[in-house]
Amino acid sequence: MNTTLPRSLDPAPGELLPGYLLRVAHRIGISPLDLAHWCGLPGGTTFPTHHLVRLDDDQAQQTATVCRLGLAEVHGLTLGTQAPSYPPLHPVYLGRHQSHIDMANDGWVFTAFSRYCPDCLADTADLPGGPVWQGSWRLPYTFHCPRHHRLLDWRCPACQAPTFSNGYRVDGRWRPTQLIPSPRSHLHAAQCRHRPGTGRDAPCAHRLDDPSSVTRAPTDAMVHAQQRLAAAAHSAASYGSLGQPTSPQRFLNDVRATTLAICSTWPATAEVFAHAEHLDAVAAHVETLHRAPAERAGPQGDGWLARSVDHPPGDPYQGAALMTLVVQILEDPGGQAVLARVLSRLPSSRAGYRRLRRLAPHCSPGMSAAIGESAQLRRGAVGPPALFPQPPTHQGQLDPESIPNLLPDTWAWPLDELDGPPRQLRRDAAIRLVQMTMGGSRAAAARYLGITPGALQSATVTIRAWQKQPGNAEAYQEALQRIAEIASAAGA
């Protein structure tokens, strides 16, 4: 259809395509899907999210004709236009050509849902067709509202589904994303469109423009981090990262590389940044990433929004905590050395290391230097990858079910004589006791004890470096034999 609507609306500053279509559809009394069909946007009965990233020339022209807009106004409703320097929205990203669909599916573009400020929605609720949904709310570097000095919300208070998402089914599986969920429903632009039950159930319809909702206020560091990231996504000027000048695009790639470094090496990384604020929020995000995929994808979980370890969290508080730490590292004149220490704990066998190698050519000179220094630290401080082998010497003598994941004082006193890292030694000794009883790999023994991959990595790196010092490996083996005897005598 190329017929012009009898009446339409001017886009509001910062508005995105889905919010604009909702307002127009509500004003003229049709469903968003019908309006989208007239604009040539959907594919059958679905409403693909990639239209949010960019529109091709024919779709943009048809939308302009139907909605009485200029072409520049239509393109201004897409993320690609609103964040011109943001690398994940570029047709060429990390050296590869990507389609609109690739951009929409990238974990650094939140096309599947939108954060929001209830106060902003309330302030614009009286506009024709309803309130304005800001485009910046769809991007992971926007986690607070400067106007109302509050962290953004991201879930409907009634049904708890992420706003503007298609949400989850009653069986816990996530529905395929759509640009506008429940596109056939006639709802106000501020109403939640998630269908809590089956596809035949009515949408939640809870009003999200309730300014009485309570949330945290951002810290000054969080405000600064968002300003820094948003400026880079809109700037073409030279930027600074790890003490050296670079482009905004390379700075933002540094942000992704630093996020990968923090999340891939957690909780060992927490020891490096022990004085950073809100580490509890970062830890909660990393814990979600380490859960099994089925658990992460369950109702009200947010692991599906962070599909791999370098993707930012959906929760605005966790996102603010993580991005604030990232910006502090990149702005620190000594950040290159600190980051090299963190990256040196990233095993070359992990997927995160391979992703880092893909990011490296597109990062700043400071980040490239940190990655190179980390390789030297890994070779010098960590040494050969093999640990002192732990044979199954006590099969049938110990009950593995009685071995705790952190040895108690009554078992661990032989370790106190070693002058080693106490907590890591107790954790590592528990892993080795399981190997002595059951055989198998360190990873299998750690899983048996419920030790997370991050905690296993922390213990492995620390103990490996300590064992390289003369006499430590042999003394440790003697201590383990004594611990096994203590455990056997205790009836373990």
Q: What is the CA radius of gyration of the chain?
A: 26
Q: Which residue has the higher pLDDT, 212 or 183?
A: 183
**CA dihedral sign of residues 89, 92, 93, 99:** positive
Q: How confident is the model at residue 355 (pLDDT cuts 50, 70, 90)?
A: confident
How many distinct structural domains can be found in the chain?
3
90 and 176 share one domain: yes
Whether residue 230 is predicted with pLDDT greater than 80 in this model: the reply is: yes
Which of 401, 116, 361, 132 shows the shortest CA–CA distance to 253? Answer: 361
- Provide, rounded to the nearest whole percent, the portion of the chain with pLDDT above 70: 90
Count how many residues are written for the chain: 492
- Residue 297 is predicted with a pLDDT of 53
Q: At what angle do helices 248-264 and 351-359 cross, to 10 degrees?
A: 170
- Whether 308 is covered by a domain: the verdict is yes
Pairwise pLDDT comparison (247 vs 301), residue with the higher score: 247
- The secondary structure of the chain in percent helix, strand, coil, rounded to multiples of 5, reads 50, 5, 45
**pLDDT, greater one: 290 or 119:** 119
Same domain, 299 and 250: yes
Q: What is the mean pLDDT of the chain?
A: 85
Q: Does 94 lie in the same domain as 69? A: yes
Asked whether the predicted pLDDT for residue 47 surpasses 90, the reply is: no
Is residue 140 scored above 80 in pLDDT?
yes
Q: Based on the domain organization, do 56 and 77 belong to the same domain?
A: yes
Q: Domain boundary at 160, 184, 217, which?
A: 217
In a domain, 387, yes or no: no
In this prediction, residues 111-139 reach a mean pLDDT of 91
pTM higher than 0.85 for the full model?
Answer: no
**Are the CB atoms for 491 and 397 separated by under 8 Å?**
no
**pLDDT tops 80 at residue 407:** yes
Question: According to the per-residue pLDDT averaged within each range, which of 100-109, 164-173, 187-196, 447-456 is highest?
Answer: 187-196
The pLDDT confidence band at residue 308, using thresholds 50, 70 and 90, is: low
Distance CA 486, CA 470 (A): 26
Give pLDDT, residue 349: 57
- 325, 347, 382 — which closes off a domain? 382
pLDDT tier for residue 10 given thresholds of 50, 70 and 90: very high
The pLDDT of residue 250 is 95
Residue 243 · residue 370 · CB < 8 Å: no
pLDDT band at 385 (very low <50, low <70, confident <90, very high): very low
Is 118 a residue whose pLDDT tops 80? yes
Whether 388 maps to a domain, the answer reads no
- Among 109-113, 240-244, 279-283, the minimum mean pLDDT is found in 109-113
Is 247 in the same domain as 334? yes
Task: Verify that 206 and 226 share a domain, yes or no.
Answer: no
Confidence of residue 382 (pLDDT cuts 50, 70, 90): very low
Cβ atoms of 136 and 142 within 8 Å: the answer is yes
Where a domain ends, among 192, 217, 242?
Answer: 217
Q: How confident is the model at residue 383 (pLDDT cuts 50, 70, 90)?
A: very low
Find the range with the poorest average confidence among 108-117, 147-156, 289-298.
289-298
Range of the structural domain that residue 266 is part of: 220-382
pLDDT tens readout for residues 160-177: 888 988 876 665 566 777
